[in-house]
Amino acid sequence: MRSQRSQRELARAKNLFPGGVNSPVRAFRAVGGEPLFIARGEGSYLVDVDGNRLIDYVLSWGPLLAGHAHPDIVKCVCDAASHGTSFGAPTARESDLGDRVRRLVPSMKRMRFVSSGTEATSAALRVARGFTKRERIVKYEGCYHGATDSLLVRAGSGVETLGLPDSPGVPASLAQLTTVLPFNDPDATRAFFRSPQGRETACAIVEPVVGNMGVLVPRPGFLEVLREETRAAGTLLIFDEVMTGFRVARGGAQERYGIEPDLTCLGKVIGGGLPVGCFGGREDVMEEVAPAGPIYQAGTLSGNPLAMAAGCVMLDLVSQQGFTEAIEKHTAELCARLRESCAEASVPARINQAGSMWTLFFAESDVFDYPTAKQANVKRFAALHRELLERGVYLPPSQFEAAFLSSEHGPEVIDQTANAFREAVKAN
């Protein structure tokens, strides 16, 4: 694989950005290579600056449910840009996207658009604290909710990928207000919310299907217990559906598992590849947000017209009969082919899938929480990553991230991937 131009670009970037990147997992540190610099995307493919063409399972870490440069999204963004790129004043497009969000995720009775998933989760915490007048929050081990101070405690994604301790720079006094509970352990959740501290907790935030430790699926009963116990404790339940929104089901994990959270955070798919986040939920809670109420939240580029336009086209695609179902079916077919190849090569592996998200763990037994994910063979994952890259397949450069499919990943692309994988697993 040619990489001279990427190497040259990396040297230039290292002189400008910490580690040469503007977000840590992109640096490829966990898979022992160097990042490829991307020139363009075409449907299910990435083309890098050296001209390598790769089947893309990162898809900008999830947003590109319709693949790269979808013609309708490109057109609507260009049209919107020709009328002006930002106004800092309300536009009808915000309500156009808001209507679509509420149709798909009915628990979001009132919402606010922001510019990223991280912004959405940090605002949701403030709202939960302001509404309940409590300070403690609960998060789940290995879940990652963006680079928000209170949530960078036992977090997945890049924090786990780089093996970092809880981040320096987060005041201990703030971290002490965060209780971390084990994912998929209903007993621990029950015990905590029945304790005095539990009854003084503002909110519990969870990725209902974890994407940031790789994909971990909730076991039957876990989310149900979490819902019941938080309700009984007067604690708000926040679903971080930044990854799962419009992917695990059309209406997200809350639709798939039939659980209604008090607040939901969205990002990624909602912007069709442009920077959008959103938080929303119960009317009585959201009516406390300024200017309706006293809890402050604001953003210059919130509701940006280009991002709103792209989001509308994306959610119209999601609303089409069979759109998300077809991507999920292709994901299941791919995962089945990969399992077959592992079995054929006698390689112990577990592939977790939810909707159009999946992760392969080299593990002997089921992977369903932080300790079981940590037991996976990350060296073998890194080697597989390199073998696949050589064969034209681009997986997330970390064991602790989800891989994604788009509507552009059809049978031919899946076949090519499965063939490359069969060879890569044998060579690994």
Task: Tell me: cis bond preceding 396? Omega within 30 of 0 counts.
Answer: no
Stretch binding ligand HOZ (CB under 6 A), from 21-29, 30-38, 168-176, 250-258: 21-29
CA 187 to chain centre: 26
Nearest distance from C-beta of residue 27 to ligand HOZ, angstroms? 9
For the chain, the distance separating the N- and C-terminal CA atoms, rounded to the nearest angstrom, is: 17
Q: Is 157 in the site for ligand HOZ (CB under 6 A)?
A: yes
Nearest distance from C-beta of residue 5 to ligand HOZ, angstroms? 21
Nearest distance from C-beta of residue 302 to ligand HOZ, angstroms? 20
Stretch binding ligand HOZ (CB under 6 A), from 22-30, 32-40, 184-192, 274-282: 22-30
Can you spell out the DSSP letters for 327-373? Answer: HHHHHHHHHHHHHHHHHHTT---EEEEETTEEEEE--SS---SHHHH
Nearest distance from C-beta of residue 235 to ligand HOZ, angstroms? 26
Q: 275, 115 in Cβ contact below 8 A?
A: yes
Which among 231, 173, 184 has a CA at the least distance from the CA of 206?
184
**Six-digit token string for 120:** 């959405």
Q: Considering the complex, state which of residue 94 and residue 401 has its C-beta at the smaller distance from ligand HOZ.
A: 401
Q: Is 23 in the site for ligand HOZ (CB under 6 A)?
A: yes
Stretch binding ligand HOZ (CB under 6 A), from 20-28, 127-135, 218-226, 249-257: 20-28
Residue type, 92: A
Q: Is 212 in the site for ligand HOZ (CB under 6 A)?
A: yes
Q: Phi/psi of residue 37, each to 5°?
A: -95, 130
Q: Is 406 in the site for ligand HOZ (CB under 6 A)?
A: no
**Active site (annotated) includes residue 14:** no
Q: Is 207 in the site for ligand HOZ (CB under 6 A)?
A: no
Q: Is 61 in the site for ligand HOZ (CB under 6 A)?
A: yes
Question: Distance (Å, rounded) from C-alpha 15 to C-alpha 10?
Answer: 9
Dihedral sign, CA of 292, 297, 301, 307?
A: negative
Measured from the Cβ of residue 86, the count of other Cβ atoms closer than 10 Å reads 14
**Active site (annotated) includes residue 144:** yes
Nearest distance from C-beta of residue 122 to ligand HOZ, angstroms? 14
Tokens 């905590």 belong to residue: 192
**Active site (annotated) includes residue 268:** yes
Q: 367, 376 in Cβ contact below 8 A?
A: yes
Interface residues for ligand HOZ in 324-363 (CB under 6 A)?
none
> Which residue's Cβ lies closest to ligand HOZ?
23
Residues that bind ligand HOZ (CB under 6 A): 23, 25-26, 61, 157-158, 212, 401
